[in-house]
Structure 1
Amino acid sequence: MTVEGFLVNPEVLQSLYGSAPVIGEVRIRSVNLNWRGPTVTLRGDLLSFPESAPGEWIDAGADTVQCQFQFLAAENVSLTEWVPPAVATVTLEPWDVERRMRVTVAGAGIALRFDCNESVRVGHVSAFRMRDGDSDAGRHLFVSKIDARRHESLPPTDERTFYER
């Protein structure tokens, strides 16, 4: 199964794509492991751009949507390969026990596996123009008004309010 079936807040993606897009492959940019929760947060680029993107995004020349997927109550985390950015297939295998699932993120440059709660939260949705070498540096146009007010580009990875919430 894929991520969109487990989103607890699909509204933000539905407002951009008309429905929650199929999220089978994602260009993974970062993996954040937080002992509080414990939580695994994947920051990645969706491989499709919305057909009816906001005018501000089109005017800015944005061509890529990026967001974070947060998985709660993570355990049994295994990261055996990490060469970012890595295009990967994200698969989820639900269990009948305690609303848990196994997440596998696999592709050239990444091998990640963990167990977690059966719900996924999407956040920090933005659009940007892809740079040479698949770089996501530069201006990001955030959907959230709070993110848009606080950030014009991706904050440094030690910005806890962005990467851990």
Structure 2
Amino acid sequence: MALKGTIPRDFGNLTFLALNDLGSNNFHGNLPQEMTRLHRLKFLDLSFNNFRGEVPSSMPPVTVGNLSTSLTKIYAPSCKIKGRIPNEVGKLSHLIDFDHSENNMVGWIRTSIGNLRNLQGCFLSNNKLIGSIGDDICKLQCLDVIDLNQNIFRFSS
């Protein structure tokens, strides 16, 4: 049985939570800003939901806030989120996997992604991302897999 409804704001009170797997449910609405209080969160899975809301600017898909010292994996494919990838994504210094494929993300890949020195997997396929793929991607020396297909990119020279 799948969970449905919105994610309660009180979810942010679970400050000792390290693993948050909310994938493959029927959540909808916006992601609560209070999720930024999950200081010890290492793994966040929001995949295959129906959020349909925009990503709050203070939370790169999905969370920055105080998570920069702990978050290693964000999985949010096919959850119908939209909006831009905030510049703050570059603050997730321990991020290893970043998957926001098959959503409605727009805009460009931020230059701050070059700060993610531990990033091994970057999955942004099937969005509406535009612009150029710059030198910042080349700074990711641990990058093993990158999937940018089905977007509108051009390579900068």
TM-score (norm 1): 0.21
Bigger proportion of residues as strand: 1
**Structure with the greater relative contact order (CA < 8 A, sep ≥ 6): 1 or 2?**
1
